[in-house]
Chains A and B, each alone.
Chain A
Amino acid sequence: MDQQLVSGCTPAAPTARMETHGNSMLRVVMQSGQDLFARTGSMVAYEGFVQYDPNPPAVRQMASQWLTGEGAPLMRCHGDGMLYLADYGADVVVLNLNEDSLSVNGSNILAFDAHLNWGVQRVKGMAKFSGQGLFNVAISGTGWVALTTRGTPVVVDCGRGADETYVDPDALVAWSTHLKMKGKRSFKASSMIGRGSGEAYQMGFSGQGFVVVQPSEDSTDRLRARG
């Protein structure tokens, strides 16, 4: 078969533990001893010997607050090889944490190193009323994290102005954990922003740090579709 047409899509040699192949596929170099947590069902391909452990005990414990009542949406991957992950064509953003900490909306997380400190938090404030995930994951330490976003995200510095930054919770992807967060509900009868209910709410952030926002208010939790 003439493979010329697809030859441009062959993977390049890996240079880091996590890389993107194209815009929306993540490639992780797996080595035994360096486990990975990945969203269940996000594996699209793998080479080598990689094993998956859905609903591992550690996660089960962590996710006791997960609230959704279903199994934890993370699986533990271990082994040696090359693992390809994707999430319904969403853009993938790879982050390398260096003693950083960040909080990621639960439905935007794709994978992260198992040795990172992480915990599941219940979303505070109004955001829990949005259709977006009911939890977020606080990750800190040194290692790799991959996020998914619908569309190319933007990173906004909160500390730039004296004013707070307000984000539509449906578009919020991640933020630095040391930001102060509060829900803002607009009580004006004429105020109609935000999607859905007509009750306007945003999340306000203040302090030094950044907010990652995606250009979409896609509020469907794709985890649920997987069952």
Chain B
Amino acid sequence: MQSDGGRSLRMAREFQRGHKAKISDLTAGTDLYVGVQITAPGLNFDISCFGLDADERLSDDRYFVFFNQPKSPEESLQQLGPQAGDTESFRVTLDRIPSSIQKLSFSASIDGDGQMSQVASGYIRLVAGGDEVARYSFQGSEFSTERAMMLGDIYLKDVWRFAAIGQGFDGGLDALLRNFGGEVAEDEPAADSGVAPGFAPPAAGGASQPAQPAPGFAVPQGGGAPAAPTPPPQPQAPQPPQPQQPQSPAAANAAAPTIAAPITPPGAQPGPAVPAPPGPPQPPPAPPQGQAVPPPTAPQAPPFGQPPGGQQQPPPAPGQAIPNPFGQPPGGQQQPPQVPQGPAAGMAVTLEKYREAPTGQRWTLQNGQLARVDLGIDGQPVLARQGSMVLYQGKVDFSHKGAGFRGRIVGNATGQEMQLMRCSGGGQVFFAEEAGYLHPIELQGDAICVSAEHVLAFDESLQHEVRRIEGHGIPGGALFTMQFQGTGTVVVKTQGSPVVLPVTPTTFADADAVVAWSAAAQVVVSSQVRLRRQAYPGHSGETVNLQFRGAPGNFIVVQPCEV
């Protein structure tokens, strides 16, 4: 679902304690900004980064980045100080971290007296290219007398990953150091490359600059920092262009405006909703073994019209493969039609691109028409339209979920009650319905109204209620919508690629085609339809138009199908 104004509307992924994810799933960037914010009246924190080796030891003191040593030798780790609402911030350039360093552990320790339970709240977040891509928030109530905590890790396990740790530690900074203590080892820079969003601290306020191929490192706009005013940039930080943010940076916990942001659609995304990623798209996964793109170098088969001599061409060497079935034929080959009989790589390779997307997130868009939920993450049940499950793995329990009292009202009024089922347990469930395009919308404390027939599934944690919009001319007397509020994900189904329009003083939509709108927008049943009917007597093509009113920032989603 695209947003208005070309803003990148990806919402940061909220991590819970213990969650892990590949950084490549969060962002294509390798130049990360790590921000830590801790609100604790009267307490001072030392926030530091330990660069650990494969044995989780601090074998090289130069990779202990803290207030006295603000950067590592090759500057892949830098401490930047407070900025953009963060109490402390770091710059991590993943592809410059030497191979001896396998884990970066970010920790906070109390300087002076105090204990972690006095902390009001805090978070650690990852920002790439100005977009916040991950955030792990914690509360002081999760701790007691600890004097330090490990906030999160960025660690290398095949690929770089991020883990939300949130583990308290009884001693202070010295105990942490002792915990990691070790010997000195050599380092050797690891090389990697790739065009990716560059490093830029978060654009506070939720808006982000348009995706750029590789935005350079940039210091965020000041202001709004609770801890300290934005200091002048650290001397070691390279200072390329600052991204100009029109909006004033919001404070740390400011919720982004409600935005429809598809969750990373993996692999093929035939669908409509291609969010503006925080950078160039991720490089395609490496082709599987044995898959070669060019057509087999098999002997040329005669063009059709000529009877072939022998039907079976001698097979080319194994490992030669078929052309990508959906793709364009490999360029420039003007060969007569061949009838390759070769032992191409077999169907496993052909099917490779339809493979299940890697797990890790709670909601994953498998392709434009299939959404997968991993119930094991959060352990929280999902409510879904009955019959929308196409496949599940694991121990999932499906039970009937009545639509509740209000739902029955809807059912009585419209003749079709919304039938829900509750999916609980552990495992993965795939949802789809009639090959409609699916759009997971992640809500972070905000609200959205979705036309009832376009709701496919949603997290049970969301509060939902049924609303009716009355007006003359609406079939059934009223239009029923479900309003969702809270934190969680709603999967919305559309027929065809939808359009997302900002709400302006003159925004109208057909009542049959509107799919969803931000709940702050006010809906007015428009009288335009009457004018039309008068203008064309007997014309009954248009049903009812809805007019939307609201402050800037609201949006509506309209599908190209008026069912």
- B283 located at the interface, meaning its Cβ lies under 8 Å from any Cβ of chain A in the complex: no
* A154, B268: Cα distance in complex, Å: 11
- B254 located at the interface, meaning its Cβ lies under 8 Å from any Cβ of chain A in the complex: no
Contact indicator A154/B393 (Cβ below 8 Å): no
- Contacting residues, chain B, for A166 (C-beta < 8 A): 391-393
One of A15, A95, A186 near B338 (C-beta < 8 A): A15
One of A13, A18, A194 near B329 (C-beta < 8 A): A13
- Contacting residues, chain B, for A81 (C-beta < 8 A): 304-305
One of A29, A94, A99, A193 near B346 (C-beta < 8 A): A99
Contact indicator A155/B325 (Cβ below 8 Å): no
* A13, B332: Cα distance in complex, Å: 9
Smallest Cβ-Cβ distance to A22: which chain B residue: B326
One of A32, A95, A143 near B341 (C-beta < 8 A): A143
Contact indicator A142/B419 (Cβ below 8 Å): no
Smallest Cβ-Cβ distance to A186: which chain B residue: B398
- Contacting residues, chain B, for A126 (C-beta < 8 A): none
**Mask: chain A, 175-200; 1 = CB below 8 Å from B; 0 = not:** 00000000000101011111110001
One of A17, A171, A210 near B432 (C-beta < 8 A): A171
- A165 located at the interface, meaning its Cβ lies under 8 Å from any Cβ of chain B in the complex: yes
Whole-angstrom distance between the Cβ of A163 and the nearest chain B Cβ: 5
Whole-angstrom distance between the Cβ of A180 and the nearest chain B Cβ: 15
Interface stretch (choices B88-96, B146-154, B362-370): B362-370
- Contacting residues, chain A, for B340 (C-beta < 8 A): 16-17
- Contacting residues, chain B, for A160 (C-beta < 8 A): 393
Known: A99-B346, A154-B370, A192-B421. A167 touches B398 (CB 8 A): no
Whole-angstrom distance between the Cβ of B266 and the nearest chain A Cβ: 11
* A221, B343: Cα distance in complex, Å: 33
* A82, B268: Cα distance in complex, Å: 28
Interface stretch (choices A37-45, A53-61, A63-71, A211-219): A211-219
Whole-angstrom distance between the Cβ of A94 and the nearest chain B Cβ: 4
Contact indicator A152/B370 (Cβ below 8 Å): yes
Known: A94-B325, A98-B344, A216-B434. A152 touches B337 (CB 8 A): no
Known: A99-B343, A215-B432. A156 touches B427 (CB 8 A): no
- B67 located at the interface, meaning its Cβ lies under 8 Å from any Cβ of chain A in the complex: no
Most B C-beta atoms less than 10 A away, residue of A156, A160, A210: A156
- A31 located at the interface, meaning its Cβ lies under 8 Å from any Cβ of chain B in the complex: yes
- A153 located at the interface, meaning its Cβ lies under 8 Å from any Cβ of chain B in the complex: yes
Known: A16-B338, A143-B341, A215-B390. A93 touches B434 (CB 8 A): no
One of A143, A145, A157, A191 near B399 (C-beta < 8 A): A191
Contact indicator B393/A156 (Cβ below 8 Å): yes
- Contacting residues, chain A, for B348 (C-beta < 8 A): 100, 210
- Give the interface size class of chain A: 35 or more
- B460 located at the interface, meaning its Cβ lies under 8 Å from any Cβ of chain A in the complex: no
- Contacting residues, chain B, for A19 (C-beta < 8 A): 323, 325, 329
- Contacting residues, chain B, for A94 (C-beta < 8 A): 322, 325, 350
- B473 located at the interface, meaning its Cβ lies under 8 Å from any Cβ of chain A in the complex: no
Contact indicator B345/A217 (Cβ below 8 Å): no
Known: A14-B337, A98-B347, A215-B432. A167 touches B304 (CB 8 A): no
Most A C-beta atoms less than 10 A away, residue of B322, B369, B390, B400: B390
Known: A15-B330, A16-B322, A29-B338. A96 touches B307 (CB 8 A): no
- B295 located at the interface, meaning its Cβ lies under 8 Å from any Cβ of chain A in the complex: yes
* A96, B355: Cα distance in complex, Å: 16
One of A34, A163, A215 near B369 (C-beta < 8 A): A215
- B160 located at the interface, meaning its Cβ lies under 8 Å from any Cβ of chain A in the complex: no
Interface size on B, residues (CB 8 A): 63
* A29, B308: Cα distance in complex, Å: 13
- A110 located at the interface, meaning its Cβ lies under 8 Å from any Cβ of chain B in the complex: no
Contact indicator B390/A217 (Cβ below 8 Å): yes
- B351 located at the interface, meaning its Cβ lies under 8 Å from any Cβ of chain A in the complex: yes
Contact indicator A32/B307 (Cβ below 8 Å): yes
Smallest Cβ-Cβ distance to A200: which chain B residue: B398
* A15, B334: Cα distance in complex, Å: 9
Contact indicator B347/A102 (Cβ below 8 Å): yes
- B180 located at the interface, meaning its Cβ lies under 8 Å from any Cβ of chain A in the complex: no
- A51 located at the interface, meaning its Cβ lies under 8 Å from any Cβ of chain B in the complex: no
One of A13, A154, A195 near B366 (C-beta < 8 A): A154
**Mask: chain B, 433-456; 1 = CB below 8 Å from A; 0 = not:** 111000000000000000000000
- Contacting residues, chain A, for B307 (C-beta < 8 A): 31-33, 80
Known: A171-B390, A191-B398. A96 touches B435 (CB 8 A): no
* A210, B355: Cα distance in complex, Å: 9
Whole-angstrom distance between the Cβ of A37 and the nearest chain B Cβ: 16
* A217, B390: Cα distance in complex, Å: 7
Contact indicator A195/B387 (Cβ below 8 Å): yes
Contact indicator B389/A163 (Cβ below 8 Å): no
Contact indicator A80/B346 (Cβ below 8 Å): no
**Mask: chain A, 1-26; 1 = CB below 8 Å from B; 0 = not:** 00000000000111111111001000
- A125 located at the interface, meaning its Cβ lies under 8 Å from any Cβ of chain B in the complex: no
- Contacting residues, chain A, for B341 (C-beta < 8 A): 17, 142-143
- A227 located at the interface, meaning its Cβ lies under 8 Å from any Cβ of chain B in the complex: no
3 closest Cβ pairs, A-B complex: A151-B435, A215-B432, A98-B346
User: A14-B337, A81-B304 known; 5 other A-B pairs, CB under 8 Å?
Assistant: A17-B341, A151-B369, A161-B394, A210-B351, A213-B370
Q: Residues of B with Cβ closer than 8 Å to A?
A: 268, 270, 295, 301, 304-308, 311, 322-323, 325-326, 328-330, 333-335, 337-341, 343-348, 350-352, 354-356, 366-370, 386-395, 398-400, 419, 421, 427, 430, 432-435
Provide a sorted-by-A list of 28 A–B residue pairs whose CB atoms are within 8 angstroms: A12-B329, A13-B333, A15-B329, A15-B335, A18-B325, A29-B304, A31-B308, A31-B311, A32-B307, A33-B308, A33-B311, A96-B347, A98-B344, A100-B348, A143-B341, A154-B354, A155-B351, A160-B393, A164-B393, A167-B391, A171-B390, A171-B391, A192-B386, A194-B387, A200-B398, A210-B351, A216-B434, A217-B432
Q: Residues of A with Cβ closer than 8 Å to B?
A: 12-20, 23, 29-34, 48, 80-82, 93-100, 102, 142-143, 145, 150-157, 160-161, 163-168, 171, 186, 188, 190-196, 200, 202, 210-218
